[in-house]
Amino acid sequence: QAQLGVSGGGLVQVGDSRRLSCAASGRTYGNYAMAWVRQAPGKERVFVAAASRSGGIALYADSVKGRFTISRDNTKNAVALQMNVLKPEDTAVYYCAARAGGATRSGDDYDYWGQGTQVTVSS
């Protein structure tokens, strides 16, 4: 079972960059696809990005494609989300999630969740 610790949120300005980190524990970390999912105030949770177990496949929501990059380091049991050119609409609580099996674009497919970190993009 994966346990996930999330860090890196905060208050940033429009156009800034921010890097979120997720540290996973569990003996079979390499068997989990990892994802970032976000939830804006008053809105449903939405998929942001996912990485396959090997990290060789990355999936992105259209809204972040070209601006965000997901990466993972299986030697460190870690996954990161590099967010560039941040926009006010990126303001949300960001969650790290994991699932046994392949990466998908639906947050509902993920079984294990970190505690979330707030990212606020101020204009």
Name the one residue in this structure whose structure tokens are 């999630």: 97
For residue 3, give the nearest of 31, 19, 21, 26 by alpha carbon. Answer: 26
Percent above pLDDT 90 for the chain: 82
* HEC profile of 32-80: EEEEEEEECCCCCEEEEEEECCCCCCEEECCCCCCCEEEEEECCCCEEE
pLDDT band at 47 (very low <50, low <70, confident <90, very high): very high
- The segment with the largest mean pLDDT, out of 16-20, 74-78, 111-115, is 16-20
State the DSSP code for 18. E
Could you give phi then psi for residue 108, rounded to 5 degrees? -65, -15
- Summarize pLDDT for 68-96 with one digit per residue, the tens: 999 999 888 899 999 999 999 999 999 99
Instruction: Give the pLDDT of residue 27.
Output: 63
